[in-house]
Amino acid sequence: MPGQIPASYSNLQESAEQLHLSASAYRRALELAGLNPARDDWLQHIDRFLLSAGAILIVAGITAFFAWNWPELGHISKFAIIQAGILVAVLGAWRLGLDSPGGRVALAAAAFLVGTLLAVFGQVYQTGADPYGLFLAWAALILPWAVIGRQAGIWLLWQVLLNLTVIMYYTQVLNPPDGWWQLAQLLGPLVWLGTTVTDSTLAAYLFVLNIASLAVWEFGARRRTSWMQGTLFPRLVALGALVIVLIPTVIIILAAGLDGKTGLSAISPVLLFIAVAAALYYYRHRRQDLFILTCSLFAVIMVVTSLFIHAMSGDGGSLLILAMLVIVQVAAAAWWLRRVAQGWEKPA
């Protein structure tokens, strides 16, 4: 009916504040509006969480078992154990059904175990192949399961494997880096992956890869593909694409320009500008997603703050202005996001 206000958390909270409702009355209003999750919903989410956590722990336990008992295990035992795990997981997925929570978790566990199998194969036979070949083979082997399974978890794993393949191939074949790369590898995977985006060319390749995957997913979602209606995959891929070009952009700003020796170039700021502009338009007007809008505004705040840090003198007054600038930017972003959310909730 005209004039009706849609039931949502923000509208109900605003009405409760205007009517000065008590806590008990507010809870009752949530129940009447159907906004409070029911007991069965809680149990279903808890069940899925425990099921997923159990599968992750089992896969991690199998990997740790190999690492701890590697010298004592024979070649046949190593392959028998891991292949038996994959077989049990696949049979479990088939038995439970690919659309059931248990079947989905079992198929995802099998996809992870394929990587363990390839790692064991490489260690046993010492093939000497480049590491990017491992990730590429892993992605190729689980692609049929990703297509058949129709779940975001396996597709996320596949996307990560593609990113690692590009990183490995670029750094090992196309453009091997200097000694700092070897040190970064010793400092851990996070430091190592962080150094990859200090090369704007590699960052551009990764950005294009992730944006292409995001575009395919959004196309499927707009075509009403049921298993593509979730938000986990597009949010994580969009966040990754933004971070990939945001880090080199901030480095360029703070380093006061471009230096050909560093591998940084203007392509990263250009891609960041395009990504933020496209995200602010698409995820506001085409597909409503506050998380991606928030990430885009965070990127803008990071760039503006970096520009001010580069220009500031470094005295106490500049630090105070910097703090105020951050507060103003965050407040403005929160105000705009709230306005956008309220606009989505208004009846057409």
pLDDT of residue 1: 42
CB–CB of 165/139 below 8 Å? yes
CB–CB of 162/139 below 8 Å? yes
Chain position carrying tokens 């091997």? 176
Q: What is the pLDDT along the chain (348 residues), one digit of tens a residue?
A: 444 555 555 555 666 666 666 666 666 665 555 556 666 666 766 766 776 677 677 767 776 776 666 666 677 777 787 888 889 888 988 888 878 777 888 888 888 888 888 877 777 776 666 778 888 989 999 999 988 888 888 898 899 999 988 888 887 777 766 655 555 555 555 555 666 667 788 888 999 999 999 999 999 888 888 888 888 889 999 999 999 889 888 888 887 654 544 567 788 889 999 999 999 999 988 888 889 999 999 999 999 988 888 777 666 667 788 888 889 999 999 999 888 887 776 654
Cα(first)–Cα(last) distance of the chain, in Å? 11
pLDDT of residue 15: 63
pLDDT of residue 94: 86
Burial 220-238 (b: 16+ CB within 10 A, else e): ebeeeeeebeeeebbbbbb
CB–CB of 248/203 below 8 Å? yes
pLDDT of residue 101: 78
Residue 328, CA atoms < 13 Å, CB-side half-sphere:
8
Q: In terms of Cα–Cα distance, which of 232, 261, 262, 264 is closest to 245?
A: 264
Q: In 3-state terms, the chain is what percent helix, strand and coil (to 5)?
A: 80, 0, 20
CB–CB of 268/245 below 8 Å? yes
Residue 115 burial by Cβ neighbours in a 10 Å radius (0-12, 13-18, 19+): buried
Q: In whole angstroms, give the CA distance from residue 301 to residue 305.
A: 6
Q: In whole angstroms, give the CA distance from residue 124 to residue 131.
A: 15
